[in-house]
Structure 1
Amino acid sequence: MAGGLVELRSIDVVPDNERHGRAFSQFTLWLGANLQITAVVTGALAVVFGGDVVWSIVGLLVGNLLGGAVMALHSAQGPKLGLPQMIQSRAQFGVYGAVVPLLLVVVMYIGFFASGSVLAGQAVGELTHTDDTTGIVVFAVVTALMAAVGYRVIHTLGRVASVICALAFVYLGIRLLDRADVGALLGDAHFSFPMFLLAVSLSASWQLAFGPYVADYSRYLPRTTSPKATFWWTLSGSALGSQWSMTFGVLVAATAGEKFLASQVGYVVALGGTGAVASFFYFVIALGKLTINVLNTYGGFMSLVTGVSGFQGRRVLSRGGRAAYIALIMVAGTAIALLGKDSFLSSFKDFLLFLLTFFTPWSAINLVDYYLISKERYDIPALSDPRGRYGTWRWGALAVYAVGLLAQLPFLATGFYTGPCVEPLGGADVSWIVGLIVPALLYWLVARRDTAHLPEPAADAPAPETEAVAPQR
């Protein structure tokens, strides 16, 4: 029902009579999603692995702006098409071929759900006077319920979190600066190119990982919404929130050292105070993680449905089916969180950089196709028809994607694999740069010669309201 609290649509196009909101909603959503403890840990990693305060902060800023610009370009697609992000991949990879990046995206969502649940579980366990395991389970159930309600509650949650978490981080920042010798921290600046690139890669991977679902949260905006407004509000909210959290993480890691490494949640809460104040900061941590984990659950559900429905030829999903997909994401993420809760920090850096390897080629292909090849025009009904203009498998795009993955391997540096070009670069990981440039150029060269599948300009005209497919109830 249009205007209702519980969302009924899933991967089907949002008709014009159900569009609502303003582009500013993207600012509050992404600000709230980034003012949270995992972003703090991500910033801290730049120092934990050898960087200094000044150049770590600068590197994180560069990565947040570069990666944020890429994800904001994806966000601008939402109002134009009225579709979730990953279903657009069918225009590049084919209705069946899109399942290749989709499988990797689902793994990403489950991984972020699990890592976020570990930290949130600690906070919920303290709030409920139980333990981490109980906290993780309770947090997971609440996350799934909010994801099931859908789009409206997600944006409401973002607005609430952006205000409460911003106020909390201002207070925590004041408390931290009161304890720290800021002059000594800023004076100890020793530029290291590998450490600088590590900081850039950490924040760029953080931003690029939003790319596969960012348009999910802008697709209900009116079709007349300015793409520039959507781009800038998304970029500013995401970059500001993440840089704020990551800078705080850099300062915490530089001043607290082992105390922070031993208990990230415990240290941040203790910084805020004791008693009722501590309880409030446990709530803030849980709220921040709830915001981003609902996005991960919702995005995982959308991607899973997109992958399965491509083979079924379905465009809509029942409420029961929606609940089942969300429950599947929740159970998988919770299981991984419970199994890995004791080794969170040591594996999180490798997880981020590993994800970056798979999603930079996808982002490059999607953006080149949408903005340069298709000129923002897609035949939306054909995205659900294997016999339509986009076909089943678009082997050219899949080959470019594979080359994009392979091109990164010589430059990749993780705990389980280091490429041969890493050492000559002083240990710097530049794989994400290669992963953006190589597939972008290759896809442009391949796709500009194969334009038979492109729709005419009239194909992206708004569909009459009477032709919109009604969601099943």
Structure 2
Amino acid sequence: MGTGTTIERRTIDPVPDSERHGSPRNQFTLWFGANMQITAVVDGALAVVFGAHAVWAIVGLLIGNLAGGAVMALHSAQGPRLGLPQMISSRAQFGVLGAALPLVLVIVMYLGFAATGTVLSGQAINKILHVDASWVGIVIFGLLTFVVAAFGYRWIHALGKVASVLGILGFAYLTIKLFADQGASTLLGHPEFDGVAFLLAIALGAGWQLTFGPYVADYSRYLPANTPERTTFWATLAGSVLGSMWSMSLGALIASVPKSGFLDNQVGYVGDLAGGGAIAFVIYLVIVVGKLTVNTLNAYGGSMTMLTTATAFTRSNIVRPVVRMACVFAFLAVSVVIALAASADFLDNFKNFVLLLLMVFTPWSAINLVDYYLVSRERVDIPALFDQNGRYGAWNVTALVTYVVGVLAQIPFLAQSLYTGPITDALGGADISWIVGLVLTGAIYYPWARRTSNPPEAMIEPVREPALS
């Protein structure tokens, strides 16, 4: 890949052993830093906004983060073994062309998170620069994201380390300040339990982690092939869950403050909590760096997903870096436009967005993980992932039908503002659709795939081609 200052040359092609580098510790700092950010604070606040007491919200968020984080970390463990971006490996389950179905939904997810994150980051940049025009901060943030995502893998991991350090310092100060200002009794006293709100908190935590699944292996694929899977798994899980839980817990506590102004002005409220002045300036900088880290993941992963979709039809497995950079730019341009037109009803829309994504990604995760670990048993024909006439074919009926069934089966369990399923009504409004999506999809896919799949006897490595400059 070259030195740390060069533009990444690899795109969707397998990473050769000669370019493998790094340590699982980098997975910890990347995912810790990516989760120490304002949108995770908002996600935690939602659990309280929609009815949970802060104590039970934090417990529910922890359960959800651990459950979803375990699934996400299992995807991460595939990276060193395959040396491929995450969604390329989906071709082993869905077929070379069939993988385009979840891929299109992945791109929509990345755009949604990039746009919502850009709104909040733009507010922080505007406060740093003391400007009122909202578009200024949004455009500047989009350009900053492009720079890091365009340079690629090494820059992204370096940014994760910076975000980890700044996040610890900034969030530690905010946590201490919040307890000093409000007192533990105000924030944690009288923890009444609400079952429906508790299940929503679990769903919010699980949804947050599960939506990282489609790109998490993009950032572990350069690790040496002999990196133990358990090491990658635990480093990713620990970083992601610790970072997200700190942020979400802070959000739940902030939302529990009587007459909190957080709902109306998330970034401004955090700045006021810091105490204003120079300290607020630093906190705004922490917000920007944390959001820059995760937004770069969205842009980089989004470009990889766009390339994976396009190359399935062009039958190419080599993409020049300039094409990847063009995809990053196009992706960010669209996300900036969406951010500029974002609805003022941010919190409610964001909650529905996360829960809707849960419906379409839990079946994908179930199919990918069941196939990789239980059916194929980590044996993948990597060259066939790029060949419509190869082992995996163009379309895999087993995976595609199971995926559609897994999505449709969740509809009666949905709890959305536009639609509430009949079973959800019977449960008093509790959303357990993500559990149905994981368990039912896995239960259908495993026996069917055992009869229809044709995994190789051992891992089939690609014929290595030189990187393009």
Alignment TM-score > 0.5, same fold? yes
Deviation at 1:380, TM superposition (A): 0.5
Note the aligned Cα RMSD (angstroms): 1.1
**Which residue in 2 is equivalent to 1:163?**
165
**Which residue in 1 is equivalent to 2:290?**
288
Deviation at 1:274, TM superposition (A): 2.0
Contact 2:11 2:321 in 1 (8 A): no
For 1:282, give the aligned amino acid.
Answer: Y
Bigger Cα displacement from structure 2, 159-168 vs 313-322: 313-322
Contact 2:92 2:392 in 1 (8 A): yes
Q: Partners in 2 of 1:125 and 1:468 — Cα distance?
A: 47
Aligned length: 467
Are 2:379 and 1:365 aligned?
A: no
For 1:125, give the aligned amino acid.
Answer: N
**Which residue in 2 is equivalent to 1:303?**
305
Deviation at 1:346, TM superposition (A): 2.4
**Which residue in 2 is equivalent to 1:215?**
217
**Which residue in 2 is equivalent to 1:37?**
38
TM-score (norm 1): 0.97
Q: Partners in 2 of 1:324 and 1:31 — Cα distance?
A: 28
Bigger Cα displacement from structure 2, 310-319 vs 218-227: 310-319
Deviation at 1:256, TM superposition (A): 5.1
**Which residue in 2 is equivalent to 1:85?**
86
SS in 2 for 1:297: helix
Contact 1:94 1:394 in 2 (8 A): yes
Contact 2:52 2:197 in 1 (8 A): yes
Q: Partners in 2 of 1:274 and 1:433 — Cα distance?
A: 43
Q: Partners in 2 of 1:416 and 1:121 — Cα distance?
A: 29
Deviation at 1:258, TM superposition (A): 4.0
Q: Partners in 1 of 2:155 and 2:325 — Cα distance?
A: 16
For 1:145, give the aligned amino acid.
Answer: V
> Do the aligned partners of residues 3 and 381 (structure 1) sit closer, same or farther apart at CA in structure 2, a change above 3 Å counting?
farther
Deviation at 1:327, TM superposition (A): 1.1
Alignment counterpart, residue 407 of structure 1, candidates 402, 406, 409: 409
Deviation at 1:341, TM superposition (A): 5.1
Contact 1:53 1:188 in 2 (8 A): no
Contact 1:124 1:132 in 2 (8 A): no
> Do the aligned partners of residues 311 and 257 (structure 1) sit closer, same or farther apart at CA in structure 2, a change above 3 Å counting?
farther
For 2:2, give the aligned amino acid.
Answer: A
SS in 1 for 2:466: coil
Contact 1:3 1:18 in 2 (8 A): no
For 1:2, give the aligned amino acid.
Answer: G
> Do the aligned partners of residues 341 and 426 (structure 1) sit closer, same or farther apart at CA in structure 2, a change above 3 Å counting?
closer
Unaligned runs of 5+ in 1: none
For 2:20, give the aligned amino acid.
Answer: R
> Do the aligned partners of residues 386 and 257 (structure 1) sit closer, same or farther apart at CA in structure 2, a change above 3 Å counting?
farther
Deviation at 1:343, TM superposition (A): 2.7
**Which residue in 2 is equivalent to 1:234?**
236
**Identical counterparts, % of pairs:** 56
Contact 2:11 2:320 in 1 (8 A): no
**Which residue in 1 is equivalent to 2:25?**
24
For 2:308, give the aligned amino acid.
Answer: T
Q: Partners in 1 of 2:431 and 2:224 — Cα distance?
A: 40
Deviation at 1:188, TM superposition (A): 1.5
Unaligned runs of 5+ in 2: none
TM-score (norm 2): 0.98
**Which residue in 1 is equivalent to 2:466?**
470
> Do the aligned partners of residues 256 and 133 (structure 1) sit closer, same or farther apart at CA in structure 2, a change above 3 Å counting?
farther
**Which residue in 2 is equivalent to 1:333?**
335
Cα distance per residue 1:142-176 (max 9 Å; x no partner)? 10111000000000000010011111100110000
Alignment counterpart, residue 355 of structure 1, candidates 357, 365, 375: 357
Q: Partners in 2 of 1:273 and 1:236 — Cα distance?
A: 31
Q: Partners in 1 of 2:393 and 2:317 — Cα distance?
A: 16
Aligned counterparts, 1:50-129, within 5 A:
50-129=51-130
Are 2:144 and 1:142 aligned?
A: yes
Contact 2:51 2:194 in 1 (8 A): no
